[in-house]
């Protein structure tokens, strides 16, 4: 088939239309991305003269639940029944269909920008801001035109606060909601956020019952998942209004918490992750979602949920975390152990200590690192006891490192003994063991630890002397 094509492509769950990323605030973008991921679809190319039957058949396929991990095989079978001649697909499994060019870097024209679509394509599609469809303009006359607000949100809120009549209040709230929706479609999420913040405040402290009810109805209209995601994305960038944004997300309940959780699991920047993590403990509505994620088939989803529940110290999640100590993936076991220690429960502590009986040295090392986050005498005693009998070198080093992080007086005393030269003729103490103990003392950075390192700078072993000198210099600067 020849002619122009519209390209819908995705990277992860982010959707691009002819090379231009759809804003997250536009509900259709994230929802389409989720369905494309579920069906294993990477790219969809739609011909300018696509038939309604092809469009409807394709939409029906994408709207059904997908088969996760099949690479697109299930979607391919459905397409073979529909046989859309004017729509082409590329799947995660490249062998299922001919390869399509990923046109994210070289966008083709969007409708209204050089590409004329026939009536069959535009029927039933509501144009949004920035899209100029000239053909068959008369067809829209049968619909009532949407009233576009001509004032900014501050002016509209000022008028709302002065309004006396219920009808006037309702009209102004409706104009504000419309302004917010149009702004979100244009990617001006800060305007959407300003409207939602204002409405949440007036819903709580409204001068009249009618105004409060009008704001409640508008918030139901605005607090949708895609729009909430856009508001949550402002948290790291608009610190000055973070409390107001948080109030909106808390007001949205579980969907607001889900938006924060999604961004937290996707965010790679540590500072932004900290912002999302800081708000989650105050959004208890998100706990059921995180607990549900512990049963996911994808290891990284389970790991992220365990990490979050541990950092949030959700003690009610203990029963769901305990079985994960036997998970088939080592990374999940490690996160589950850390989470259980962070909960601070007796059962969780005992379960992690039982990991020292495992055959796998890495499992025993994970238990040591998990105990390091619990800086008390009970953890110190457990680590000292295990160190005396641990045969594996890597686990020994993990135990020493954990004692350095705990840094209790008893832990430092054990590390000083480990760093000293061997006292008995048959005592086994390789230099690597002593050096690891010195590094752990530098991590502890207590007065006793620094004094011990200073003495070891005169040790008989050159490797030990050099390690002690480096450790002392580093610890002195950091103290």
137: pLDDT confidence band, cut at 50, 70 and 90?
very low
* Residue that wins the pLDDT comparison between 120 and 300: 300
* Residue that wins the pLDDT comparison between 150 and 121: 150
Is the model's pLDDT at 119 over the cut of 60? no
The one-character DSSP state at 237 is T
Determine, yes or no, domain membership for 435.
no
Cβ(329)–Cβ(299) below 8 Å: yes
The one-character DSSP state at 138 is G
Determine, yes or no, domain membership for 362.
no
Backbone torsion region of residue 445, taken as left when φ is above 0, otherwise alpha when ψ lies between -120 and 50, otherwise beta: left
Rounded average pLDDT over 291-315: 89
The residues near 262 (Cβ < 8 Å, ≥ 6 apart) are: 229
Rounded average pLDDT over 346-350: 94
219: pLDDT confidence band, cut at 50, 70 and 90?
very high
- Residue 51 domain boundaries: 5-126
Determine, yes or no, domain membership for 141.
no
Does the CA dihedral 252-255-258-264 come out positive or negative? negative
β-bridge pairing 5-11 and 41-47: antiparallel
pLDDT at 227: 93
3-state secondary structure labels for all residues of 278-335: HHHHHCHHHHHHHHHHCCCCCHHHHHHHHHHHHHHCCHHHHHHHHHHHHCCCHHHHHH
Is the model's pLDDT at 333 over the cut of 90? yes
The CA distance from 33 to 12, in Å, is 8
Determine, yes or no, domain membership for 83.
yes
The CA distance from 136 to 446, in Å, is 79
In the structure encoding, which two tokens stand for residue 206, read together?
């409204």
In the structure encoding, which two tokens stand for residue 136, read together?
């068959």
The CA distance from 446 to 385, in Å, is 22
Residues 228-250: pLDDT tens digits? 999 999 999 998 999 999 999 99
61: pLDDT confidence band, cut at 50, 70 and 90?
confident
For the chain, how many structural domains are there in total?
1
Cβ(166)–Cβ(185) below 8 Å: no
Cα torsion through 172, 174, 180, 186, rounded to 10:
-110
Candidate from 135-139, 232-236, 429-433 with smallest mean pLDDT: 135-139
pLDDT at 28: 64
18: pLDDT confidence band, cut at 50, 70 and 90?
confident
B/e letters for 228-257, b = 16+ CB within 10 Å, e = fewer, are bbbbbbbbbeeeebbebbbbbbbbbeebbb
Determine, yes or no, domain membership for 96.
yes
Half-sphere exposure (CA, 13 Å, Cβ side) for 432? Answer: 7
The residues near 47 (Cβ < 8 Å, ≥ 6 apart) are: 1, 3, 4, 5, 6, 86, 87
Determine, yes or no, domain membership for 170.
no
Determine, yes or no, domain membership for 66.
yes
Half-sphere exposure (CA, 13 Å, Cβ side) for 76? Answer: 16
Is the model's pLDDT at 14 over the cut of 90? no
Is the model's pLDDT at 20 over the cut of 80? no
39: pLDDT confidence band, cut at 50, 70 and 90?
confident
pLDDT at 145: 39
For the chain, give the percent of residues with pLDDT over 90: 44
Distances (CA, A) of 292 to 35, 155, 244, 313, 350: 20, 44, 28, 16, 24
């Amino acid at each position: 088939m020849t002619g122009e094509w519209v390209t819908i492509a995705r990277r992860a769950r982010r959707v691009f239309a002819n090379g231009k990323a759809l804003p997250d605030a536009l509900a259709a973008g994230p929802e389409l991305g989720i369905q494309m991921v579920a069906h294993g679809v990477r790219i969809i190319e739609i011909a300018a003269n696509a038939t309604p039957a092809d469009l409807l058949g394709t939409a029906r396929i994408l709207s059904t639940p997908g088969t996760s991990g099949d690479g697109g095989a299930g979607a391919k079978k459905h397409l073979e029944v529909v046989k859309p001649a004017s729509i082409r697909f590329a799947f995660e499994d490249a062998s299922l269909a001919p390869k399509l060019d990923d046109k994210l870097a070289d966008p083709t024209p969007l409708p209204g920008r050089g590409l004329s679509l026939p009536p069959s394509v535009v029927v039933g599609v509501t144009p949004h801001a920035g899209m100029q469809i000239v053909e068959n303009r008369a067809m829209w006359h049968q619909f009532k035109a949407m009233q576009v607000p001509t004032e900014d949100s501050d002016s509209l809120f000022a008028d709302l606060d002065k309004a006396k009549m219920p009808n006037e209040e309702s009209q102004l709230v409706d104009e504000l909601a419309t302004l917010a929706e149009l702004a979100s479609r244009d990617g001006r999420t800060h305007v959407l956020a300003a409207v939602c913040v204002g409405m949440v405040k007036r819903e709580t402290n409204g001068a009249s019952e009618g105004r409060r009810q009008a704001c409640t109805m508008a918030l139901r209209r605005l607090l949708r998942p895609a729009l909430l995601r856009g508001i949550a994305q402002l948290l790291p960038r608009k610190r000055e209004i973070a409390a107001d944004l948080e109030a909106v997300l808390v007001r949205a309940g579980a969907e607001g918490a889900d938006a924060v959780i999604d961004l937290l699991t996707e965010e790679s920047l540590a500072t932004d992750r900290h912002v999302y993590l800081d708000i989650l403990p105050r959004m208890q509505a998100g706990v059921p979602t995180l607990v549900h994620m512990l049963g996911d088939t994808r290891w990284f989803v389970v790991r992220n949920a365990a990490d979050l529940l541990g950092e949030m110290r959700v003690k009610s999640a203990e029963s769901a975390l305990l079985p994960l100590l036997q998970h088939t993936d080592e990374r999940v076991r490690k996160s589950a152990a850390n989470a259980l220690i962070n909960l601070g429960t007796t059962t969780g502590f005992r379960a992690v200590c039982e990991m020292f009986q495992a055959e796998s040295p890495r499992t025993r090392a994970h238990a040591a690192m998990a105990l390091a986050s619990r800086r008390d005498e009970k953890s110190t005693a457990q680590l000292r006891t295990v160190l005396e009998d641990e045969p594996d070198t890597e686990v020994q080093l993990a135990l020493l490192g954990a004692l350095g992080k705990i840094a209790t007086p008893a832990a430092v005393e054990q590390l000083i003994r480990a760093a000293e030269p061997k006292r008995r003729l048959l005592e086994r103490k390789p230099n690597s063991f002593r050096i690891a103990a010195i590094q752990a003392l530098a991590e502890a950075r207590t007065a006793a630890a620094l004094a011990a390192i200073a003495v070891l700078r005169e040790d008989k072993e050159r490797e030990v002397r050099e390690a002690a000198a480096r450790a002392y210099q580093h610890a002195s600067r950091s103290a």
